[in-house]
Structure 1
Amino acid sequence: MARYRGPRLRVVRRLGELPGLTRKSPRKAYPPGQHGQARKKKSEYAIRLEEKQKLRFNYGLTEKQLLRYVKKARRAGGSTGQVLLQLLEMRLDNTIFRLGMAPTIPSARQLVNHGHVTINGRVLSIPSYQCRPGDVISVRDKDNSRKLVEANLEFPGLANLPSHLEFDKGKLTGKVNGVIEREWIALNINELLVVEYYSRQA
């Protein structure tokens, strides 16, 4: 299944607030579709599926990518759900979004793909790159790159900078100081249900 490129507000109406996907808020409070207003009792499977979809759409992953992250989190030891969230949060596209250099994760992915960002002084165009403590993320020293990021910084996606990151607005440089802690994750999600969803699949 390919990455979702359809209307984002439709997804937000169905799954609730997804800070990484869009900053807009829907005008209608009920899910889309003909039966959106008819509230049905959700099965346990539907609840787990919904939590999994929240993760997928918020971080802009394909089903295959998310499954790969779940397997990696299982191998890492510790709380699988927490490790999974940390792996997703430490992706380069998400880190750029959290630094305020892009208003959403899809626009952060575009910044990386178009070569506007450097990691430790080298241009990197891989949005899924896992940021590690000590990594320095900068804007490429080109006029159009700087203008793009400066415009984005006026209206950042999320107001608060997580404790594991620091950012110098003057130099347009961010630094990763550690791994994100659970309370700083902006997405409202029950990661245990996602792990349970995949344990039934495997």
Structure 2
Amino acid sequence: MARYTGAECRQCRREKLKLFLKGDRCYSDKCAFERRSFAPGQHGQARVRKVSDYAIQLREKQKVRRIYGMLEGQFRKYFEIAERIKGVTGENLLMLLESRLDNVIYRLGYANSRNQGRQLVRHDHIEVNGRKVNIPSFRVSINDVITLKEKSRKVAAINESLEAVVRRGVPSWLELDKDNYKGTVKALPSRQEITMPIQEQLIVELYSK
């Protein structure tokens, strides 16, 4: 799967918001956004100009796309699926993104970033309902049980991440049994449980043009 391979901190600076793309580093003094919160490039500190409605909508879409580590084509497909589902399109979109396996791995604390969660899935560390799943975009369902393979439970990075999950917490729609390396999907994520500052209606307006 194609993905962004450039400097992750540049994405936070471009969106003028800490997106927590580098795990624990984002909580430390080494975070590049803390030192340089202006946009990257030689014009990053230029005078702020009035922006159009389209520019505001585009920035919101780019921000959400970068939070979940997706390229444009894949993100657009999620929006099209969200349109077909009964309910509010913007909320459906966020629910679909949160239900991705790589995001669930991050939310449970097995990984300290979604990118690391994607790597764990790709490298066959994860089982869903006792079966190996190595597709990061796999959509979890209610009552799914996500576990680490036995051989993966000694990986230092995973255990360090599980110890650090206390800082950000596990969302209420998931349940973590840290001692047994097991997570359970208790419900599908609701809009109220997604705490990142996202205005999904702007994305709907952008794609509806």
TM-score, normalization by structure 1: 0.93
CA–CA distance in structure 1, aligned partners of residues 166 and 60 of structure 2: 22
CA–CA distance in structure 2, aligned partners of residues 193 and 18 of structure 1: 18
* 1:29-48 map, 5 Å: 29-38=37-46, 39-48=48-57
CA–CA distance in structure 2, aligned partners of residues 198 and 77 of structure 1: 18
Given that residues 139 and 145 in structure 1 are in contact (C-alpha distance below 8 angstroms), is that contact kept between their aligned partners in structure 2? no
Higher relative contact order (Cα pairs below 8 Å, separated by 6+ residues): 1
Unpaired runs of 5+ residues, structure 1, are: none
Matched, 1:107 2:116: yes
Matched, 1:4 2:4: yes
Identity of aligned residues (%): 44
Q: 1:101 to 1:144 in 2, by over 3 A?
A: closer
SS in 1 for 2:176: strand
Q: Which amino acid aligns with 2:8?
A: R
Q: How many residues align?
A: 199
* 1:1-202 map, 5 Å: 2-15=2-15, 16-19=17-20, 21-23=21-23, 24=26, 25=31, 26=33, 27-38=35-46, 39-143=48-152, 146-156=155-165, 159-200=168-209
* Cα drift, residue 91 of structure 1: 0.4
Given that residues 116 and 145 in structure 1 are in contact (C-alpha distance below 8 angstroms), is that contact kept between their aligned partners in structure 2? no
CA–CA distance in structure 2, aligned partners of residues 173 and 124 of structure 1: 15
CA–CA distance in structure 1, aligned partners of residues 166 and 111 of structure 2: 7
TM-score, normalization by structure 2: 0.90
Which has the larger helix fraction? 2
* Cα drift, residue 99 of structure 1: 0.5
CA–CA distance in structure 2, aligned partners of residues 75 and 145 of structure 1: 42
Q: Which amino acid aligns with 1:141?
A: E
Unpaired runs of 5+ residues, structure 2, are: none
SS in 1 for 2:67: helix
CA–CA distance in structure 1, aligned partners of residues 128 and 184 of structure 2: 10
Q: 1:49 to 1:170 in 2, by over 3 A?
A: same
Given that residues 120 and 135 in structure 1 are in contact (C-alpha distance below 8 angstroms), is that contact kept between their aligned partners in structure 2? yes
Greater mean alpha carbon deviation, residues 56-65 or residues 143-152: 143-152
The C-alpha deviation readout for 1:129-168, integer Å capped at 9, x for no partner, is: 0000010000001156654421221233961211110000
Q: Which amino acid aligns with 1:8?
A: E
CA–CA distance in structure 1, aligned partners of residues 205 and 166 of structure 2: 30
* Cα drift, residue 35 of structure 1: 1.6
Given that residues 81 and 191 in structure 1 are in contact (C-alpha distance below 8 angstroms), is that contact kept between their aligned partners in structure 2? yes
